[in-house]
Structure 1
Amino acid sequence: MNFAQAGRKRLKDTWHYSVTRTIKHVGCHLAGFERKMIDLGDGRQYSYYDNNRSGKEVLLLIHGFNADKDHWLSLSHRLKQYRIIAPDLCGHGESWYEASYKHDIPFYVDELKRFADAMGLNRFHMVGNSMGGWITSLYSVTYPDDVCSIVLLNAVGVKPPLISPFFEALSGDKNPFFFSNQEDFDQLMKISVADASSIPKSFRCVSFQEGLARMARAKKLFADIMDQDQKQTHPAQMVDGVLNRIVQPALIVWGDKDGIMDSSMAEVFQRGIPNSQVVIMKNIGHLPMLECPNETSRYIKGFLKGLGALPVQ
C-alpha cells in the first residue's frame, strides 16, 4: 500500500468511525439510554445501558459472544414501555476482563447474578441472543426466583439436530469468528445475517476493525466455552439436560437463514422447556434484533403482554 492509498484508507476509516458513533448516539437517544458503570469490587467493573424507567417491568438484555450492549440499540427504543438494562458481559465491550479466569457459561451466570444483585434487580424478564441465550437458559435454572420469563433469540447451548455452516467450518479447522482480513470477515457476515445490507456499512467496517483489535481475547473466550479441540460447544456446559427445569414461560425466536446456529435447534429448546412457544422468522439470520428490530420487538411485546404485569421495582 503506497502513501496515497494509506491516506485514503485513513480517511475512510475515520468516516466510518464517525458515522458509527453517530448511529450509536442516535440509538441511545431514541432508547433513552444512559451509559453507566457499576463497580462490584475486586476490579469487577461493568458497563451497561439503562433507560432509567423506574417503576416499569425490567428487561435484562444479554448479548452474544464477542458482541456488546450496542447490539440492542435498534431493538430497545421499540421497547421503551419497559425499564431496559443492557450490560456488557465480562470480557466484552467496556466491562472488566481478567485473562486468568475461565469465562465459561457458569462463570457468566454467576457474574450476571452479582451484577443483578448489585443493581437491586429482584424480578425481571431476560432476553438473550446467541451465547446470551445460553447464559439466559442456565441463569433461569440456577436462579429461578429472579426470572419471570425468558426470550431466546437464536440461542446456543443445545446439541443441534442439523449442522450449520459455522460448525461445518469448525469441523474443517476453520473458525469463521477468527478473521484476519476483509474476505474472511465478509464470509462471517454472510453466514451470520440473511442480508448484510440490513447492517449499516459503517457499522460493519468498524466491527471488522475492532474485531481485529480484540482477536487474541476472542480466541481465549471462545476456547473457554468449547470442547478441547474447539469443534463443539463444551458438553459439560450444555443445557439440554436441564431445559425441563426452566419453569418460566419462554419465547424462542429464530431466523431461518441462521448460518451460525441452525434453526432446527429451536425445536430442541421447545421440546425441552415445558412452557414455551417458537417463532421462526423468514429470511432472517443470527441477529434478529439487528436485522429486523420492528418484527422482533412485536413478538417480544406480544409475548410479555400475554404474561400479565409484574410487580414493579
Structure 2
Amino acid sequence: MGKRRALTVVVAVLAGLALLLAFHWRPDIPVEKLLEEYAGENSRFVEIDGLKVHYRDEGSGEPVVLLHGVLSSLHTWDGWTAELQRERRVIRLDLPGFGLTGPGTEPQINLDYYVEFMAKFLDALGLERVTMAGNSMGGGITWLFAARYPERVDKIVLLDAAGFLTADDNLNLFKLAGSPVLKPLVRYCTPRYLVSVFARQVYGDPGRLEADTITRYYRLLRREGNRDVLTSFGNLAASLSVADVQEALASIEVPTLIIWGDKDRWIPVEHAHLFHQNIPGSDLKIYEGAGHVPMEEIPQETVADVIAFLNR
C-alpha cells in the first residue's frame, strides 16, 4: 500500500509539472523579429569573439559608456542618453546574454568574463579611455574594470552596484534557477506576469512602471538563448570573495560617484555605504523612494547629478 501511495504521489507531481509546462510554456522569439521592434536608427553592431554585439553610439564629446544590469538592456538608459548626448558621446550596449546581443560562447557568466569582454569592446571601438557607469551587474563590471584597467578610465558611476554579493540573499534565487530540477522550468516557463513581478520589484514606486517597459523586459528576455544566462547567473561572483572586492575597491583612484535608491529590494542600501567606505574619496548620493534602477525610474533627477559630477 505504501509503494502504491508513493507511486501515486510521483505520478501526481509529474502530472503537475507537465501541466505547468503546458500552461506557462513560452517559446523563444527569433532575433530577426526583435530587431524589427527594438533596433533603433542609432543601433550598430560589432563582432567580438564571434558574437554580434548590439550597441548605440550617440552624441559627441568625451565618451561615456553605460552598462545595464541583469534581465535588462541598453534601453534602460534612454532617459539618461537624451540628456547626456547633448555634451557627451554616449555609448551603451546589450551585454552578452541580454537584449539583442544574445548569449556568448562562455559557459559560465561571471564578472571576470564581462570585464575582459568590455576591454575587447572598447578596443573594437577604438576607445582608449572612457567614463564608465553601470547599474547592478553593470556596476560590478564597472568597478572591477576600473580596478583592473585604471589607465582606461577617467571617472566611474556606480548605481545600486553588485559586488558584496555574498551578503545578498537574492543571489541564491539565481543559484536555485540553475539547479537540475528547475533549470528546464526557468528556461521555458517565463510568463509575462512573472516578468511583471520582477519589474515591479526593481522600482521603488511600481506606479512609475509603464506597460511598454514590462513588455520590453518580457520580449527581450525571450530572445533566443537569453534565458540560458539566468541559469548560470549564480556564478556571477563565484571568483570574488569579500576580501577580493575590498582590495579591488581600495585600489580605485579615479573620481567615483555612488548612486542608490533607498527602496532597493535587490541590493539593499547598506551596500551603498560599503562601497562608499571602501572606495577612497568616493561621493555617495541616495535617492528617497527610488528602487534598484534609479536611472530608469527617476532619470531626470539622477542624470542631473551625474552631469554635475562629470563636469567637476
TM-score grouping bracket, smaller chain normalisation: 0.7 to 0.9
What displacement does 1:242 show? 1.4
Number of the residue aligned with 2:82 = 77
**What do residues 216-257 of structure 1 show as CA deviations (whole Å, max 9, x unaligned)?**
323234133155xxxxx9638962331110111100000000
User: Any idea what SS the aligned residue of 1:239 has?
Assistant: helix
**What do residues 88-139 of structure 1 show as CA deviations (whole Å, max 9, x unaligned)?**
1122222253345322111100110011012111121101000000000000
What is the correspondence of 1:169-208 to structure 2 with a 5 Å cutoff? Answer: 170=173, 180-208=190-218
User: Any idea what SS the aligned residue of 2:258 has?
Assistant: strand
Structure 2, gaps ≥5 residues long: 1-32, 179-185
Number of the residue aligned with 1:46 = 53
Number of the residue aligned with 2:126 = 120
Q: Which amino acid aligns with 1:218?
A: V
Q: Is 1:254 matched up with 2:260?
A: yes
Q: Is 1:223 matched up with 2:228?
A: no
Q: Which amino acid aligns with 2:231?
A: K
Number of the residue aligned with 2:249 = 243
Distance change >3 Å, CA 52–CA 173, structure 1 → 2: closer
The whole-number CA distance in structure 1 between the counterparts of 2:175 and 2:229 is 20
The whole-number CA distance in structure 2 between the counterparts of 1:131 and 1:286 is 11
What displacement does 1:37 show? 1.0
The whole-number CA distance in structure 2 between the counterparts of 1:221 and 1:171 is 7
Number of the residue aligned with 2:148 = 142
The whole-number CA distance in structure 2 between the counterparts of 1:120 and 1:47 is 16
Q: Is 1:299 matched up with 2:305?
A: yes
What is the correspondence of 1:11-160 to structure 2 with a 5 Å cutoff? Answer: 21=37, 34-40=42-48, 42-53=49-60, 56-80=61-85, 81-95=87-101, 97-158=103-164
The whole-number CA distance in structure 2 between the counterparts of 1:37 and 1:61 is 16
The answer (yes or no) to whether the contact 1:148–1:248 under 8 Å persists in 2 is yes
What displacement does 1:277 show? 0.7
**What do residues 64-104 of structure 1 show as CA deviations (whole Å, max 9, x unaligned)?**
12211111112111112100011111222222533453221
| TM-score normalised by the chain length of structure 1 | 0.76
Number of the residue aligned with 1:4 = none
State the percentage of identical aligned residues. 27
The answer (yes or no) to whether the contact 1:105–1:237 under 8 Å persists in 2 is no
Tell me how large the CA RMSD over aligned residues is. 3.0
Q: Which amino acid aligns with 1:255?
A: G
The whole-number CA distance in structure 2 between the counterparts of 1:45 and 1:171 is 26
The answer (yes or no) to whether the contact 1:38–1:45 under 8 Å persists in 2 is yes
Q: Which amino acid aligns with 1:73?
A: D
Distance change >3 Å, CA 143–CA 74, structure 1 → 2: same
Number of the residue aligned with 2:29 = none
Distance change >3 Å, CA 238–CA 261, structure 1 → 2: farther
Number of the residue aligned with 1:310 = none
| TM-score normalised by the chain length of structure 2 | 0.76
- State which drifts further: 116-125 or 90-99: 90-99
Distance change >3 Å, CA 181–CA 46, structure 1 → 2: closer
User: Any idea what SS the aligned residue of 2:231 has?
Assistant: helix
Distance change >3 Å, CA 212–CA 171, structure 1 → 2: closer
